[in-house]
Chains A and B, each alone.
Chain A
């Protein structure tokens, strides 16, 4: 990375690219210098590791990048040859395949051909891993296997499913107990006392990043909208991978300024062609991000709602462990259906959406099994139509462009009919 880069002069888009590349470089540099690298689940708290100077790498984002660059199939094959069933989440299979290739490289000193040919960003093997099941229990099994295969420590923040809402006191106490355990694990791994002062600073940084992230989402409420929700999927990379660093805060604040300027200049995402607005429920289809976006754009359907990016609204009070525990456990997909439905309803209503596109994701049982119930809940409350399509985040075998197009066109017809009826 060039030291002469002037981040201040960059657009938010350039800053996004710059910091994403820098995160990978930071990890490579840390490894080179013998500093610790940690692989992390996307919504696991990074604050503890960052406070101890550990560099974070995010396999889900890494896998999404491989998928978006059409490189997942050869790596999925590697994982499947190791015995990972095609039923298992494709993020995990991509990551297990990538880990296997890195292991082979480390053991033989030669880069396996699949890795040499892959568009995968070059990130190093971890010295420890941290997971949190606030978005799915798959992350427990995935990281259990990573720790076992690599013979490295596992830091686990198990957030129990919130079958009661709001979050119960004993849930928070248990999670705080886990935080304390992670601190003691880190003290042992790093061989020095936990740095509580740095931890507080990191918590404050995380809150500034989260606040900037949340500010971006408020632009989805404008009609017409200056922002296309698909852009959130791109910027999401930084709230996942760098929320405890200033990289994300800097980038998001730039984006907020750009959006304010657009709004001021009446420059909208679809110009004057914003015919309808939709909520996208579920993870993006990274292997067909362009196609899904273009199909909707072709109909003048702008995405102005998605509960998924809102998962990183991890607002809490720095210095208050229970508040932090609450923030990390109350992701909408870790809560009972009533609260989950309310969050979805809020997304659809604040995005002023006319319909919902629901991703029945073959890789995500936690989202997919309640898709229908969630969508029906919103439909009942807000009387908006929805369609469900079959897809996958990073396994191209589970997505069909034709089916997606047909379903979305059907939604378009339903939205048009409703608008017609309302006139």
Chain B
């Protein structure tokens, strides 16, 4: 167990201190870091340049002050936090920032950048399943590549991107394996520890993250699987932070057996397909992807996907982590909640606000939900 605790502590240290991860990477490689704005961006292109892609998912309990000057109060919590971090200099260590524009808020945020690093903006096609979507997104990725080459003063070869796709696919595969292992060992992976292992992948070079997760999985699998007396849940939404929320889940004996979070499993739900044109392969990932409200699909597969996951992992319920003022997430709710009711799947909704420092309302809701189950 000591080895497991030490490994988990390494992930926790990275997840809690991204600035150190960037500084260490710079010291080690002589190269820098590129910020990846939520939700989905072709990290492989940055990785192929030898730079460290860094997730920009706000900060826990970040007090919002300066951002109020630039954003109306109904901007989602994570973007309020990202704006505050731009303004207070946290992102000044980045050499560039890659911005996608899948919702109105992100679209506007891409035009309101106040950080020092130059930004590269691209747009995902939303008519994703038709043939014309792939060449369009490939052209957008070519723009991202060209801009990064210009800003960073590097050349990014096709071979390097192909190699990065391989590195990322290995990480995606091991993350899916990790989530399954974490579901089997809830005594080891309480919700906050599970989150730390996943969150760390936003700040680590992916082959290193993969190796460390491999080590962790092997160590955990040597332990006997024990019965779980608490309830099993699936988390769904953009993200599940601050950690106090995850600690509340632990307090009420909830085990996270799977997630459908944009910051977590949605990133590695599917692999980049094989092929001979790396930018096209990256574009095809977006075409294959599903189950996120930022990726339009009138079939609305999210509800059925969650119901299927609940069956697979024998989950007792789904906990919806509703990002405050995130209208795409809010749009899915009326549809899947009807589907959950029809399938007899229990759920509760808790409002996510990264700025939050008071959790009594969520505590009451989770306590009541635990009793109900």
Q: Which A positions have Cβ atoms within 8 angstroms of B?
A: 82-85, 87-89, 96, 133, 136-138, 140-145, 147-149, 154, 156-158, 160-161, 163-164, 168, 170-171, 173-174, 176-178, 180-181, 336-337, 340, 360, 362, 365-366, 368-370, 372-373
Whole-angstrom CA separation of A372 from B143 in the bound complex: 29
Cβ B130 vs Cβ A360 within 8 A: no
Of B74, B111, B132, B293, the contact of A337 (CB 8 Å cutoff) = B111
Whole-angstrom CA separation of A271 from B356 in the bound complex: 55
Whole-angstrom CA separation of A173 from B133 in the bound complex: 10
Of A148, A362, A369, the contact of B109 (CB 8 Å cutoff) = A369
A362: which B residues are within 8 A, CB to CB? 74
4 smallest A-B Cβ distances: which pairs? A177-B132, A369-B108, A174-B136, A83-B334
B135 within 8 A of A: yes
Task: Kindly provide the distance from the CB of B321 to the nearest chain A CB, expressed in whole angstroms.
Answer: 14
B335 within 8 A of A: yes
> A360 — nearest CB in chain B belongs to which residue?
B72
B126: which A residues are within 8 A, CB to CB? 133, 137, 140, 156, 158
Cβ A142 vs Cβ B136 within 8 A: no
Whole-angstrom CA separation of A164 from B119 in the bound complex: 13
B104: which A residues are within 8 A, CB to CB? 136-138, 365-366, 369
Task: Kindly provide the distance from the CB of B328 to the nearest chain A CB, expressed in whole angstroms.
Answer: 6
> B132 — nearest CB in chain A belongs to which residue?
A177
Cβ A158 vs Cβ B125 within 8 A: yes
What are 18 contact pairs spanning A and B, CB under 8 A?
Answer: A136-B104, A140-B296, A141-B327, A147-B298, A156-B296, A158-B126, A160-B123, A160-B140, A163-B110, A173-B135, A174-B132, A181-B127, A365-B327, A366-B107, A368-B74, A369-B108, A370-B111, A373-B112
Cβ A365 vs Cβ B132 within 8 A: no
Cβ B331 vs Cβ A170 within 8 A: no
User: How many inter-chain contacts with C-beta < 8 Å in the A-B complex?
Assistant: 138
A157, A177, A369 interface centre (most CB from chain B within 10 Å): A369
Whole-angstrom CA separation of A365 from B140 in the bound complex: 24
Tell me the B66-124 residues at the A interface (CB within 8 Å). 70-72, 74-75, 101-105, 107-112, 121-124
B60 within 8 A of A: no
Whole-angstrom CA separation of A176 from B110 in the bound complex: 26
> A372 — nearest CB in chain B belongs to which residue?
B70
A360: which B residues are within 8 A, CB to CB? 72
Cβ B108 vs Cβ A365 within 8 A: yes
B300 within 8 A of A: yes
Cβ A373 vs Cβ B337 within 8 A: no
Of B74, B103, B110, the contact of A137 (CB 8 Å cutoff) = B103
Known: A141-B327, A158-B127, A177-B130. A373 touches B111 (CB 8 A): yes
- Contact-residue bracket for chain B: 35 or more
B276 within 8 A of A: no
A174: which B residues are within 8 A, CB to CB? 125, 132-133, 135-136
Known: A82-B334, A174-B136. A89 touches B109 (CB 8 A): no
B10 within 8 A of A: no
Of B70, B72, B74, B328, the contact of A141 (CB 8 Å cutoff) = B328
Cβ A173 vs Cβ B136 within 8 A: yes
> B112 — nearest CB in chain A belongs to which residue?
A373
A87, A147, A181, A360 interface centre (most CB from chain B within 10 Å): A87
Known: A154-B298, A163-B123, A362-B74. A141 touches B331 (CB 8 A): yes
B136: which A residues are within 8 A, CB to CB? 160, 170-171, 173-174, 177
Cβ A148 vs Cβ B127 within 8 A: no
Task: Kindly provide the distance from the CB of A377 to the nearest chain B CB, expressed in whole angstroms.
Answer: 11
Whole-angstrom CA separation of A85 from B351 in the bound complex: 12
Of B71, B125, B327, the contact of A160 (CB 8 Å cutoff) = B125
B285 within 8 A of A: no
Cβ B299 vs Cβ A148 within 8 A: yes
Cβ B101 vs Cβ A84 within 8 A: no
B131 within 8 A of A: yes
Cβ A365 vs Cβ B300 within 8 A: no
B133: which A residues are within 8 A, CB to CB? 174, 177
Cβ A89 vs Cβ B334 within 8 A: no
Whole-angstrom CA separation of A227 from B367 in the bound complex: 62
Of B105, B127, B330, B335, the contact of A88 (CB 8 Å cutoff) = B330
Task: Kindly provide the distance from the CB of B71 to the nearest chain A CB, expressed in whole angstroms.
Answer: 6
> B137 — nearest CB in chain A belongs to which residue?
A174
Cβ B333 vs Cβ A85 within 8 A: yes
Cβ A365 vs Cβ B75 within 8 A: yes
Cβ B330 vs Cβ A144 within 8 A: no
Of A147, A178, A181, A365, the contact of B105 (CB 8 Å cutoff) = A365
Whole-angstrom CA separation of A333 from B285 in the bound complex: 28
Cβ A170 vs Cβ B135 within 8 A: yes
Task: Kindly provide the distance from the CB of A77 to the nearest chain B CB, expressed in whole angstroms.
Answer: 14
B163 within 8 A of A: no
B252 within 8 A of A: no
Whole-angstrom CA separation of A366 from B131 in the bound complex: 28
Whole-angstrom CA separation of A85 from B101 in the bound complex: 22
Cβ B335 vs Cβ A149 within 8 A: yes
B313 within 8 A of A: no
Whole-angstrom CA separation of A172 from B326 in the bound complex: 29
Whole-angstrom CA separation of A85 from B133 in the bound complex: 31
> A129 — nearest CB in chain B belongs to which residue?
B298
Cβ B135 vs Cβ A161 within 8 A: no
Of B71, B124, B139, the contact of A170 (CB 8 Å cutoff) = B139
B325 within 8 A of A: yes
A157: which B residues are within 8 A, CB to CB? 127
